[in-house]
Amino acid sequence: MAYPDELLVEGEQVVMHKHPHWKMVVVPVLVLLLVVAVGTFLAAVVRAQTWAPWAWLALAVLALALVVRFTVVPVVRWRTTHFVVTTRRVLVREGVLSRRGIDIPMRRINSVQFRHTIFERILGCGTLVIESASDEPLEFDDVPGVQRVHAMLYQELADTQA
Q: What is the mean pLDDT of residues 131-145?
A: 87
> How far out from the chain centre does Cα 49 lie?
44
Q: What is the pLDDT of residues 27-68, one digit of tens each?
A: 999 999 999 999 999 999 999 999 999 999 999 999 999 999
Question: Does the pLDDT value for residue 26 go beyond 90?
Answer: yes
* pTM (2 d.p.): 0.82
Torsion of CA 77, 143, 104, 7, to 10 degrees: -50
In Å, how far are 71, 107, 138, 156 from 103, measured between CA atoms? 29, 12, 11, 15
